[in-house]
Amino acid sequence: MPAVVIIGAQWGDEGKGKATDLLGSRIDYVVKFNGGNNAGHTVVVGDEKYALHLLPSGILTEGVVPVIANGVVIDIEVLFDEIDALNARGVDTSKLVVSANAHVITQYHRTLDKVTERFLGSRQIGTTGRGIGPSYADKINRVGIRIQDLFDENILRQKVEGALHSKNQLLVKLYNRRAITVDEIVDDLLSYAERLRPMVADTGLLLNQALDAGKTVVFEGGQATMLDVDHGTYPFVTSSNSTAGGASTGSGIGPGRIDRVIGIVKAYTTRVGAGPFPTELLDESGEWLRARGFEFGTTTGRPRRTGWYDAPVARYAARINGITDFVMTKLDVLTGLKEIPVCVAYEVDGERVEEIPVSQTDFHHAVPIYENFPGWSEDISGARVFEDLPKNAQDYVLAVEAISGSRISAIGVGPDREAIVARHDLLD
């Protein structure tokens, strides 16, 4: 005990750092197992606000060993920029370990991400443009570049040649872009090799040994269940497995080693980019949630789409991930509403359905069926135990808990890492 997985249970930006903060000094290792710098984590510590993309938010917890595992795609320039920015603010990153098997994001991945999106026109996914999809596509196509390739120039050159062969045809003939030379990519990657070398290790071995020694390892997912390439709203998803199973393949620990799966949900819902979102609010309520919750992307600054809480989505997440506990964030944002609607089921073609329809077309057309709960007007940001919350806020949490598929063990009541109401021990 214990390996703890933390994942987003909606469409991302749930405030995944809140659960890491709650575990605090009990954590020995924190592992990023999927995604790359498409993630955006804002963590507020006292007067300091940190925006992290490639590094797990747990890096801000003193004493932990941060690990970037094999399932991640790494833009090395971004990695060093983020490390330098944290060091400049006095955050120690010297323990960071990077998997030799993680794949890299290069210039041609970033370029391809942007041009393919442009060519999709109205069918755009609204990616973050960071080269995530093309890098994972190369991994699956077996033409990817891994961190370990940076330490063998001969192999690196051969692999870059192999990857660029077809990409330059695409870039020049289809997308009307300039060809990228093997030298510019190889020189760029080699320029990072020596700085990177001391951080690189067999992270699968390291993490298994840590678990054998009884250490607490937190696997911090990027993105979220509904953005998972298998279980999300495909094709409007990211290109990795951002569900709990990804923690196993993305880090090299056996699935049986995972003890707890903590799903993070907002007290309402947001989404960035295109794709179905049944409870989306396109009226002034949506604007109100966006302004109150400050719902603008940490990575791209885009306004987030906003909507009410969707219980079928939470139940789906509970099921797909085996969620043992939910942490509900941003309950404070709902303060001041007279009534709070919660989606309890959908109507699809005139029929009530309780779960997410398997057909994407049906999900696109699903109309939420709402139940309304009475709101509260008291400031809840100082609440630290459940009884501190006004009765209506307690009832909202209990009602949502009863239909979401797992217990709600903690509740976020403000952006600060201390602003949390703990109900049940996340490790118990």
Alpha helices in 1-152 (DSSP H): 17-23, 76-88, 107-120, 132-140
Contacting residue, 53, 139, 146, 330, with ligand GDP by CB under 6 A: 330
Q: One-letter amino acid identity for 213?
A: A
Contact 66, 59 (CB under 8 A): yes
Could you say whether residue 401 binds Mg ion (CB under 5 A)?
no
CB of 301 to ligand IMO, least distance (A): 12
DSSP letters, 307-338, are E-EEHHHHHHHHHHHT-SEEEEE-GGGGTT-S
Could you say whether residue 73 binds ligand IMO (CB under 6 A)?
no
Q: Considering CB distances under 5 to 8 angstroms, the limit depending on partner class, which of ligand GDP, Mg ion, ligand IMO, none binds residue 128?
A: ligand IMO
Whether 81 is catalytic = no
Site residues for Mg ion, window 260-299 (CB under 5 A)?
A: 298
Stretch of 72-80, 85-93, 211-219, 414-422 lying at the interface with ligand GDP (CB under 6 A): 414-422
Residue with tokens 């953005």: 227
Catalytic, out of 21, 41, 103, 332:
41
Nearer to ligand IMO, 316 or 376 (CB): 316
Q: Which residues contact 300 (CB under 8 A, 6 or more apart)?
A: 40, 128, 129, 272
CA distance 360 to 364: 6
Partners of 270 in beta bridges:
306
Whether 21 is catalytic = no
CB of 242 to ligand IMO, least distance (A): 8
CB of 420 to Mg ion, least distance (A): 18
Stretch of 122-130, 387-395, 397-405, 411-419 lying at the interface with ligand GDP (CB under 6 A): 411-419
CA distance 214 to 2: 7
Q: Which residues contact 361 (CB under 8 A, 6 or more apart)?
A: none
Q: Considering CB distances under 5 to 8 angstroms, the limit depending on partner class, which of ligand IMO, Mg ion, ligand GDP, none binds residue 44?
A: ligand GDP
Going from the C-alpha of 336 to that of each of 279, 375, 422, the distances in angstroms are: 20, 7, 23
Catalytic, out of 13, 21, 149, 310:
13
Could you say whether residue 39 binds ligand IMO (CB under 6 A)?
yes
Mask of contacts with ligand IMO, 75-114, x by CB under 6 A?
Answer: ----------------------------------------
Phi, psi of 208 (to 5 degrees): -65, -40
CB of 20 to ligand GDP, least distance (A): 9
Contacting residue, 15, 56, 66, 133, with ligand IMO by CB under 6 A: 133
Token couple for 127: 């990616």
Phi, psi of 184 (to 5 degrees): -65, -35
Mask of contacts with ligand GDP, 343-382, x by CB under 6 A?
Answer: ----------------------------------------
Contacting residue, 73, 98, 125, 182, with ligand IMO by CB under 6 A: 125
CA distance 155 to 391: 64
Could you say whether residue 12 binds ligand IMO (CB under 6 A)?
yes
CA distance 253 to 236: 28
- Let me know the angle formed at the C-alpha of 48 by 383 and 93, rounded to the nearest 5 degrees: 115
Q: Is 382 helix (H, G, I), strand (E, B) or coil?
A: coil
Could you say whether residue 35 binds ligand GDP (CB under 6 A)?
no
Mask of contacts with ligand IMO, 175-214, x by CB under 6 A?
Answer: ----------------------------------------
Q: One-letter amino acid identity for 169?
A: Q
Burial label for 94, CB within 10 Å (0-12, 13-18, 19+), is exposed
Q: Considering CB distances under 5 to 8 angstroms, the limit depending on partner class, which of ligand GDP, Mg ion, ligand IMO, none binds residue 133?
A: ligand IMO
Alpha helices in 24-91 (DSSP H): 76-88
CB of 50 to Mg ion, least distance (A): 12
Could you say whether residue 66 binds ligand GDP (CB under 6 A)?
no
Nearest partner of 402 among 335, 337, 330, 318, judged by Cα: 318
Contact residues for ligand IMO, defined by CB under 6 A: 8, 12-13, 38-41, 125-128, 130, 132-133, 222-224, 227, 238-239, 272-273
Q: Which residues are catalytic?
A: 13, 41
Contact residues for ligand GDP, defined by CB under 6 A: 8, 12-18, 40-42, 44, 57, 298, 329-330, 332-333, 412-415, 419
